[in-house]
Structure 1
């Protein structure tokens, strides 16, 4: 469904710069009007991550010999909101709610992610109990309203000021039925408390479910001041450096959002970086016409997996953050903070290149989730790291260049890697190479959980998929992980170590709205009218934001069977909202429910919960423009000893050495931004888009 834009078509004659912050590296790609591509990888700069973005952007523009004024779009994926939660460095936050509902955050949904760990405790609420305040008001389930007393509200504002509150989340019982009541309370608090960040829950998640709405509003306010400060400071510094282009940030749902709107809804960018990588894989899957794709992203701190089916990633209506492994599915929830905003379904585990290798009291090897990050980083970086990491293990195993990585920007000191692994090997009673190989295999085992979470737990067989491995460390582990899961083919794209940044360059501008809809599904007239109102709201926002071109609209139904707690998102096909379209929606829901849960019901059991409309403007840059192979001389083929089951003399080549004819492993393929490992028993070739295609041919081989 497409509507015409009122703005002139945006010029594609200027440079676009995408910057993604990782735990170890900040990745930047600049693309010019003639598809000139300049990749840049610099160390991240915690705690001031914005400095790394500036350093990378300036370095890329200097390499391209381009003035900052020639940049037409600055695009960013950031971890600032996630870090504020994981490090508990957000604002002092208060929750304002209806009388007798202050404990809804503790009550939650009574889920427990682990059954047998008696020492496990739920994370403390981001708004402490003494910072949760009640108002003597009520919005009844039938819509009747008991108004807020203005004197009580004024007294509350004074109390919030006296308590040193920096951010406020307002969530009144049943406020989705009367959103203006809650907005009035939030507006009064903003007026009385200048400088305090205030969130009305209905402006973020206007849906039923007091716990989910309260938690989302609290998370939004908790990270709000941090995100506002970061975005404002980064925007100011960009302007000082001459980059005055529009500034957009990747949302968790996979679309770009103007930085000004992000400040109002920072909860929408918590999964910003991982979402950018999935979007790049989505565009690649569409280009290669792949039906089912597992996106596997491994960076310096974490490994992430997502599933793309029929060219579209799965999007969840809610997920949890801060619980070790971010969860978007019903199983395993309860470990983190619930956020009810659309997010690409991504499973994440603490296994990255910087993940620390250790031995537990029982003598078992473990990897992560603790990370050496970029400061001090792995021991082999020579920056003071004194604990072994997966990167150190990969150096000892011979998989990584023993001199330098990241295009020579990061020097490697292999003797330091061997030294820290020797201490671990001594505790295990083995040699450093065996300890390193053991850590590699433990990491693979951990990563399978992330892939199964987005495939098997959704009723999908991972063996039916192709894996796209990317990130700085993803191609080192992709083939072995695929082997463990029964996946036959792995695709390693160009610029794989900067693929999330590339995703920023090809992502669409996106804006979504949702409204509860509890009328009968058969009320076609009401459905048609509500969808029309939501579509108008989305297109008006995109026009106001200055987005040019045609606006495409996607309509979504949240559907479930009567008595169920969870809904499924069902995209509504294009066409007029009539009986035949609703019949198709029923059919799609039954099919998806059967895939996910192994059973389906009849039409009379179906109920509708929410209506959603997503509007987006297609990006003028397409993925194929970014897949050109650098024209550098591939250099000479070399040989390096690598440890698999045994030590093997392994050819070390560049991507340019590959051809359409499969070459047998083992192989180490070195790019500027990553290294690809092709184990024994697999083959590698290059396709006409310069992707490395790894195929398993020997069923008896060991990765």
Structure 2
């Protein structure tokens, strides 16, 4: 009996889940459903400390050889957010050093003359130029001038640059000059980290390619040091299993790949929960699910349709939280790599509740995090948070979180809310706390609408899957406002992202720019490019240990109407691909996304081709059922309801919902609390999910 472990670092807690597998089972080692969980406070100075502490506790409860260690981390995104990356230089074609400043001329806010774009990750004096030029067709217009490299190398040496990004004009069509520059840099400075755009993102559009390569270079030394140190500490615990990391696209990658190409794991943490939701949706035969993940710092929403997550081809990092609109971009740094399409807002359990300079109430995006944390944690926090509001309204057990191991200070929370919110607003403590929860809910509804209404989907046709430490507390209220009639709270809701790691597959993506009008395209060339991308992806999966019979491929094309500046990706069927197939699928997706399609005969331009490769595990990832964890809970608790005031309310654990129960009701668990309001019925299904339905 071996153990697979998932580890997810959040802004407040580090979550660990271990699931046992029967290595000798006839079906190849099916998961037996034996699950152990542990939550520990995150340790921002060194997140590895929290991981190692949590693993010691977890392995004491679940001994046995460790088969997998799967990790979702925010180290990459935090490095960008905190502007704490390595000293980085950019080597580019002469005349293009300011592409990071010019960007794509997009603004995240309209009519705000005071808005300032984020500072470039590479200061201008370290944006260095070489003389060369490649044409869009790959031919050489100006050969690479070796003499122009000498002052560049001297500058790198004099400034003690740690990492360098190389991004030359049209290198996606011909990478020869980039490779030559990389060889020269490595020969002169063998210890410097090098990121080459034709390896990171061989695609058209200079700003996305440059920005993505610079982000990779900027975070690479930090991420590599983190992964190397964590891997060594795992070995020190006697864990010999290979470390794998979650990518932004929802697939797993080896530690070596993540250290070399950390741009792929920037949004590692948020992706894991959606991957778990997709696996659960397939098990439950739920065709449409909106995921709602509310943790300690942010709330995130995603979409799962027919068991597949919704993906995007580009995201922004470092611009604060993502409000979810596709049009209002430009607040952060462009990262043009496949990622799960999420909308994120700054509303979590640790989000600070305050009054602004005009006396208006505000929630987030600033968070108390793990240190000092909410006031009720008793760790030095003085600003009231969403967790403090939930506590004073009775929704959380004053006896403590995580099974009572972390006691909560109710009196301190009441005092902070009363002094900083209630008295200035002329409200009672309860009314002020409830008002802040309503304000947070309004913010979170923006995220849910962003992945549903703004994507052309009606949220009333979906079920809401709520997880995260705070998701089940807010799920019913949000669903009621949006007209969603069904709510699912999965097993292990507070550590569900860590659980999602355990059901993820290894995944790699390959892309190539192909610019041609479809009515002039050569189907043979399209097929040959797809075959080459598939072969390259297959080699990478073989390197990860996946035999040919455990490899699955998904092909796609990026296309646009001639004259458009942005493209849409559409899935392609297996077998030979005709230009007409791509055109029809593009028109269908364009109509689904934007609500219209051009008249027949409107020329469509192919922009690129891609292949996603997935490595399937030899054993089933998802157990047949997760039995509800029983725990000691008080029989009832007084909670505050806006229409009724203080009400004595039954409290149960998940195992107590075998018989459907009508709210108001509190479902209290080790890792999360679920609030069942009046007018809703709660029950447990065969898999162990809590189901909430109106009526």
**Conservation of the 8 A alpha-carbon contact between 1:76 and 1:250:** yes
Secondary structure of 1:402's match? coil
Show structure 1 runs of 5+ residues with no match: 1-12, 698-703
- Asked if 1:610 corresponds to 2:608, the answer is yes
CA distance, structure 1, for counterparts of residue 629 and residue 602 of structure 2: 61
Q: Which moved more, 1:351-360 or 1:149-158?
A: 149-158
**Conservation of the 8 A alpha-carbon contact between 1:280 and 1:623:** no
Other-structure match for 1:445: 442
Q: What does the per-residue CA deviation read over 1:370-423, in whole Å, with 9 as the maximum and x for residues that have no partner?
A: 000001111101111111000000001110011111122211111111111111
CA distance, structure 2, for counterparts of residue 45 and residue 235 of structure 1: 17
> How far apart are 1:640 and its partner, in Å?
2.4
- Say which of 234, 255, 263 aligns to 1:267: 263
- Asked if 1:25 corresponds to 2:25, the answer is no
CA distance, structure 2, for counterparts of residue 363 and residue 623 of structure 1: 51
Secondary structure of 1:518's match? strand
> How far apart are 1:510 and its partner, in Å?
0.5
Other-structure match for 1:506: 503
- Asked if 1:642 corresponds to 2:630, the answer is no
Using structure 2 for the length normalisation, give the TM-score.
0.95
- Asked if 1:47 corresponds to 2:25, the answer is no
> How far apart are 1:568 and its partner, in Å?
1.4
> How far apart are 1:644 and its partner, in Å?
3.2
Using structure 1 for the length normalisation, give the TM-score.
0.94
> How far apart are 1:497 and its partner, in Å?
0.5
> How far apart are 1:556 and its partner, in Å?
0.9
> How far apart are 1:624 and its partner, in Å?
4.2
CA distance, structure 2, for counterparts of residue 401 and residue 607 of structure 1: 58
**Conservation of the 8 A alpha-carbon contact between 1:463 and 1:488:** yes
Q: What does the per-residue CA deviation read over 1:187-222, in whole Å, with 9 as the maximum and x for residues that have no partner?
A: 321232232211111111110000100100111111
Q: What does the per-residue CA deviation read over 1:545-572, in whole Å, with 9 as the maximum and x for residues that have no partner?
A: 2234510111111121111122112111
CA distance, structure 2, for counterparts of residue 177 and residue 683 of structure 1: 59
- Asked if 1:283 corresponds to 2:279, the answer is yes
CA distance, structure 2, for counterparts of residue 631 and residue 281 of structure 1: 20
CA distance, structure 2, for counterparts of residue 585 and residue 412 of structure 1: 58
Matches within 5 A, 1:357-436: 357-423=353-419, 424-436=421-433
> How far apart are 1:365 and its partner, in Å?
0.9
> How far apart are 1:20 and its partner, in Å?
0.3
1:643/1:626 Cα in 2 relative to 1: closer, same or farther (>3 Å)?
farther
**Conservation of the 8 A alpha-carbon contact between 1:634 and 1:656:** no
Q: Tell me the matched-pair count.
A: 678
Q: What does the per-residue CA deviation read over 1:437-469, in whole Å, with 9 as the maximum and x for residues that have no partner?
A: 011000000001111111111111112111100
Secondary structure of 2:552's match? strand
1:156/1:328 Cα in 2 relative to 1: closer, same or farther (>3 Å)?
farther
**Conservation of the 8 A alpha-carbon contact between 2:628 and 2:654:** no
Secondary structure of 1:411's match? coil
Q: What does the per-residue CA deviation read over 1:638-697, in whole Å, with 9 as the maximum and x for residues that have no partner?
A: 232333333222211111111253x22111111110001112222211111111111223
- Say which of 454, 459, 462 aligns to 1:462: 459
**Conservation of the 8 A alpha-carbon contact between 2:324 and 2:450:** no
Other-structure match for 1:591: 588
CA distance, structure 1, for counterparts of residue 387 and residue 326 of structure 2: 33
- Say which of 468, 483, 486 aligns to 1:486: 483
> How far apart are 1:63 and its partner, in Å?
0.8
CA distance, structure 2, for counterparts of residue 375 and residue 572 of structure 1: 48
Q: Which moved more, 1:531-540 or 1:154-163?
A: 154-163
- Say which of 666, 669, 672 aligns to 1:668: 666
Q: Which moved more, 1:244-253 or 1:424-433?
A: 424-433
- Say which of 94, 106, 114 aligns to 2:109: 114
Other-structure match for 1:176: 172
- Say which of 186, 200, 222 aligns to 1:226: 222
Q: What does the per-residue CA deviation read over 1:288-331, in whole Å, with 9 as the maximum and x for residues that have no partner?
A: 11121111101000000111112111111111011122377631
CA distance, structure 1, for counterparts of residue 615 and residue 659 of structure 2: 36
Show structure 2 runs of 5+ residues with no match: 23-31
What is the RMSD computed on CA atoms of the aligned residues?
1.6
1:660/1:311 Cα in 2 relative to 1: closer, same or farther (>3 Å)?
farther
Q: What does the per-residue CA deviation read over 1:252-302, in whole Å, with 9 as the maximum and x for residues that have no partner?
A: 000000010111110111110100000000111111111211111010000
> How far apart are 1:56 and its partner, in Å?
1.5
CA distance, structure 2, for counterparts of residue 246 and residue 329 of structure 1: 38
**Conservation of the 8 A alpha-carbon contact between 2:624 and 2:687:** no
1:120/1:182 Cα in 2 relative to 1: closer, same or farther (>3 Å)?
same
- Asked if 1:304 corresponds to 2:303, the answer is no
CA distance, structure 2, for counterparts of residue 597 and residue 520 of structure 1: 21
